[in-house]
Chain A
Amino acid sequence: MTEKPKIGVYVCHCGINISATVDVETVADYALKLPNVEVARTYSYMCSDPGQSLIKNDIREHGLNRVIVASCSPRMHEPTFRKAIKEAGINPYYLEMANIREQCSWVHHDIDEGTAKSKKLVAASVAKVRLLEALESKEVDAEPSALVIGAGIAGIQAALDIADAGFKVYLVEKTPSVGGRMAQLDKTFPTLDCSACILTPKMVDCASHPNIELLSYSEVEEIGGYIGNFDIKVRKKARYVDFDKCTGCGDCAAECRVKDRFPSEFDMGMGKRSAVYLPFPQAVPAKYTIDPESCLYLTKGKCGKGPKCAEVCQAGAINFDQVDETVEFRVGAVIVATGFDPFDASRKPEYGYSDYPNVITGMEMERLVSASGPTGGKIKIFNGKEEIEPKEVAFIKCVGSRDESVGNEYCSRVCCMYVAKQAHLLRDKLPDANIRVYYMDVRAFGKGFEEFYDRVRRENVRYIRGNPSEIFKRGDKLVVKVEDTLTATPLEDEVDLVVLGVGLEPRADMRQTMELLRLSQSPDRFFLEAHPKLRPVDTATDGVFLAGCCQGPKDIPDTVAQAKGAASSAMIPLARGKVVISAQVATVDESTCRGCGFCVNICPYTAIELVTVNRFGHEVEVARVNEALCKGCGSCSPGCLSDSIQPKSFRDRQILPQIAALGVFK
C-alpha cells in the first residue's frame, strides 16, 4: 500500500446498549493514541443519519482513507457503513467493524471489563484496517424468470404473483397434481371457507397462466449457477399417458384390471384408487397417470390379454413406451415451497394408531368429514368389529409437537385450530355425540382464532387439560388414560373414536432439496431462513427464497403471506435485470496452489473448479474461483494445505495481525 493510512474510529453508544457496559469515551480516547488514527469519536447512534454524516464529514475534512466503526455485528450494519464511506469517496471495503455490542457489551456486566475488551477489539481493528485492499463489486445480467419448487398453496401463490408481474415461471410439482396439503382439507379455520372452493380456482389459474410452465409429476435434478443465472435440470417422470391426448374422461381408471385396489394417497389410504388414476376429481392438470408400482403391465409385464386401459381409451392416450424426459432451462431466482409431512402417529406407540382402526389422525379426519371424501362426508368408522357412527369422540392435541421424546420441541401452530375446526364440523354432523379435546395449552394466537375457539367451546365441545398417557382397548371401546390436570383427577375415558392432532414435520425427503440448493436447517429441522426477523424468506444462498411450511409450520394465511413475500423478493433481481456480485470473494495464489482440488470439494457453493494453466512451460492444474458463485465464506481456506486460497479482506496477512493485536499470541 502506497498511501499512508489515515484512520477514523467511530465508537457507537447504541443508546445504552453499548454505553451501559462500555465506557465509550475512554475507548475513543484510547483509539486516538493508536498508530495512524487521525480522529476518534463517539455518537449515540452511529447508524443514524447524523452518525453517518459525522463519518462522511471527517473523511472529507481529514482526508481519512480507512474507517473503523465500533458498534454492532457486521451482519447488521456493514452494508450501511460501506455505503456511507463510499458516498464520501473512499472504497467501501476500506471499512472494518469492531463488534463491541454482541461480542462485548451484551455479554459483559462489568463496565471495566467491557471497556477493556472494547479497547482490544478496536486495537485489533486498527491493526487490520490498514491492511485491507480496495475491492470493486461487479454486476452480471439476470435471467428474467423464476423456478418454484413445490405446488402447494405456497408454490401456487408465489408462481401466480411472479407470473402476473410479467415474468416467466417454471412451477415444478413432484406429484401428479398441484394443490398440496390444502387440497386435502375440508373446511379451513377460522372462517370455515371450503378449502377446495378457494384453492381450485388458483390451481386452474396456475395451469393456464401464459407465463407459467407447469411441470407436474416432475422433480428438479440439478441446480447449478448462481443468482440471476441458475441452470436447472428437471426430470419429467413418465406418466405412461400421453399428456396432450388424455381428455381426463376416466374410462381407463373405471376399466383398470386392478380397479380401486390401491390406497389413495389423497384420501390418506381410506379410499381406494386404480393403478391408473387421477389423485382427486379437481386435480390439475386433469390428466391421468399410471402408477408404475401398482400397474400390472408395468410390474409384471402382462395385464390380461392386453392392458385394459389402452383398450378403452378413446383418445389413444395410453403409452407404455413413454420414458422420463429431462428439461433444462435457466432462471434468475428460485423459490422453495416444498411443504411439510404430517407427523407419523405410529411414532407414539402408546396411542395405538397402528393397532386400532378407530384411532385416526387429523389429516384422515379432514378426508372423513369431506363431502368428497371416501365416505362422502359420513362419519362412519370401523371399531374393529363393525362400522359405527361414533357417539364418544376424543381429540388429542400436540401429537408429535412440543414433544422432546420424538425430537420435536416446536409448536406446529395449526393443530389447536384444526382440532377446534374438526370438533366443530363433527358437532355439525353428530349433534348428539360427546366431543372432548385433550390439550396441554390452547394457542389461539391468530386473527379470529380466539373467537373461533370460544365459538367451538360454546358448541358443547369439552376442553380437558391433560396429556393422555395411553390408549387401549376395552370391549368395543377405546380407553383414553389421562389425568385432568386442572382437577388432578385421573381418568379412564371410554370413547368410540380418537383423533390425533398430529403436528407438522419437515418432509422426509427434504435432504434432496437441501443438497440441490445447499440449504441449511434450523434446529427444528425445517429450512433455515437467512435471518429470523429481517430476512425471513431469504436463504443463505442469494437468489433462493423460502415459502410456506418448508420453512416452519404455519397456517394458510401465513403461508400465502410468506409466498407473496418470497415472490416479491425473487422479483427484485428479475426486475432489475442485473445482480451485484460481492467483491469479498476467495482468491487463489496460483503459484503455490498444488491443484489438489480439496477446496473444490469443500466449497459449499460449488464456486471452485480446477483449470489447467501453463506454469513456465509445464501444464499444471490450479484452483480457480467463480466470483459470481463465491460467498466469501472462507470454508476453502483452512482446507488448503498449502495455504493458497484465501478470502479477500480475510487473508491470513490481514487477520493474523488483528489476532496478534488482541494479545493472544506474539
Chain B
Amino acid sequence: MDLEQLRKTAAEVVARDDVKYLIGWKKGSYGYRVAPVFVEDAAGVAELIFSPLCTANLTTYLTLVEKTPLPRGQEADKRKVALMVKGCDSRAVVQLLVEKGIHREEVIVIGCPCPGVVDQSLLVEKYGDTEEPVEVKWNGDGFMLVRGGEEIKIPRDEVLAEKCRLCRYPNPVISDHLIGAEVEKWSPAEDSGVSELDAKDVDGRWEYWEEQFNKCIRCYSCRNVCPLCYCQDCILDRLNPTWINRAVNFSENTAFNISRAFHLAGRCIECGECERVCPANIPLGKINRKMAREVREKYGFEPGLDPEAEPFQASFKPDDPEDFIL
C-alpha cells in the first residue's frame, strides 16, 4: 500500500471547500486494534494508515451521522464526506446508493485495493494478546507482525479473515480515487460453513441455531455496526406494534435474528462486520451468506455491484422462481 499516495490524495481531498471530512483508519492505542479517524484538514492526513488490521467497514459512519433538527434559518451542511473503502466496504457504498441511503454527490470514495485483512481473534490466539499497539503489514503473500522491534512473518492462511477467504471483490467496485494498483483477485474458498449447514436436515439446522441464538444478549451491536442497518426508526425499537419483545430469550432472540436476516436478504454485502463485533460469537455471517447464496443462485442477483440496479427486495419479475413458497 502506497501510504504516500494515500496521504497526498487525502490532503487534496480534505483541502477542498466542498468536503466536510474524510473518514479513514488510524493506528490504534491498544494491541491489534486500529481506530477510525475523521480528518478535517491537511494536517490530519499524517495519521491515516491502511493495513491488514483495517478490518472495520467505515461505510457505517455515512449513515450514522444524525440529521439533528436545525435552528430555523440555518442551512444544512451539504458538503461531501470522503471515505476510505476496501473492496467489500465499497459494495456497501454501492448498496447505499441503490437504496438512496446516500446520494452519489454526497460522497467521495477513496478506494483501497485490498490483499486481505486479518482476523484479530486469530492473531490473539496464535501470537498472544498485547497491550502495546503493534503493527501488521502485508508482506509478499502473507503478513508481517512488527512487535517491539521484532518482525514475525505470518503465512497468509493462518490469520486471514474468513470474509477475505471467501472474497470475490477485493478491489473497490466504486471509487473516485484509487490508491495504488488493483490487486490480483484470488479464487475464493468454498463456503464450507454454509455448505455444512446446508447438508444438515431441518432438525439439525434448528438445533444448531437454537444453540447460537440462545447465546445472543441482544446488545444490537450487529445491527449498529451494519452499514445497511440504518433505518431512522428500526422496527426492533418500535413499541406499537411491538414486533420484537425486549425479553432476552430464545423465542425473541430468534425472531430478532431472523428479521435481521430477512431485512438483509439481497442487501448484505458480506463485509463480516456483524460477526466480528458480536460479543457472543454467533456466526452471523453464515446466516447472511446463506441468504446471499440463495439470492445469487435463485435470482442471479448480487447486491452492491451496480449503483443503477433495482433493489433486489423491490424487484419482481413474473418468472421469478417461487419454489420456496410452501
Contacts and interface: CB of A to CB of B under 8 A. Distances in A.
Nearest to A595: B100
Contacts of B316: 602
Given A594-B232, A602-B314, A617-B70, A641 B263 contact: yes
22 contacts: A592-B231, A592-B232, A594-B230, A594-B231, A596-B311, A597-B100, A598-B99, A599-B314, A601-B314, A615-B67, A617-B70, A617-B74, A617-B75, A617-B76, A618-B76, A641-B235, A641-B263, A642-B232, A642-B235, A643-B243, A653-B241, A656-B241
B310 A596 contact: no
B235 A618 contact: no
A621 interface: yes
B130 interface: no
B313 interface: yes
B67 A643 contact: no
Interface in A625-663: 639, 641-644, 652-653, 656
B314 A639 contact: yes
B187 interface: no
* Smallest CB-CB A-B distances: 9 pairs: A617-B70, A616-B69, A601-B314, A598-B314, A642-B231, A592-B233, A596-B99, A618-B67, A656-B241
A618 B314 contact: no
Given A602-B316, A643-B235, A621 B100 contact: yes
Interface in A562-615: 591-592, 594-602, 610, 615
Given A597-B314, A601-B314, A653-B241, A618 B231 contact: no
Contacts of A618: 67, 70, 76
Contacts of B235: 641-643
A653 B243 CA distance: 11
Nearest to A642: B231
A509 interface: no
B231 A641 contact: yes
A527 to B, nearest CB: 14
Interface string A24-68: 000000000000000000000000000000000000000000000
Nearest to A619: B76
B101 A594 contact: yes
Contacts of A643: 235, 238, 243
Nearest to A641: B263
Contact of B310 (A591, A601, A616): A601
Interface residues of B, number: 30
B240 A653 contact: yes
Contacts of A641: 231, 235, 263, 313
A232 interface: no
A642 B234 CA distance: 6
Interface in B202-227: none
Interface in B54-74: 67-72, 74
A617 B66 CA distance: 13
Contacts of B314: 597-602, 639
Contacts of B100: 595-597, 610, 621
B192 interface: no
A293 to B, nearest CB: 29
A521 to B, nearest CB: 9
Given A591-B232, A596-B311, A616-B69, 13 more contacts: A594-B101, A594-B230, A594-B232, A597-B99, A598-B311, A610-B100, A617-B76, A619-B76, A639-B314, A642-B232, A644-B233, A652-B241, A653-B240
* Residue of B67, B72, B101 with most chain A CB atoms under a 10 A cut-off: B67
B260 to A, nearest CB: 10
B67 A642 contact: no
Interface string A6-40: 00000000000000000000000000000000000
A617 B68 CA distance: 9
Nearest to A656: B241
Contacts of A639: 313-314
A568 B228 CA distance: 52
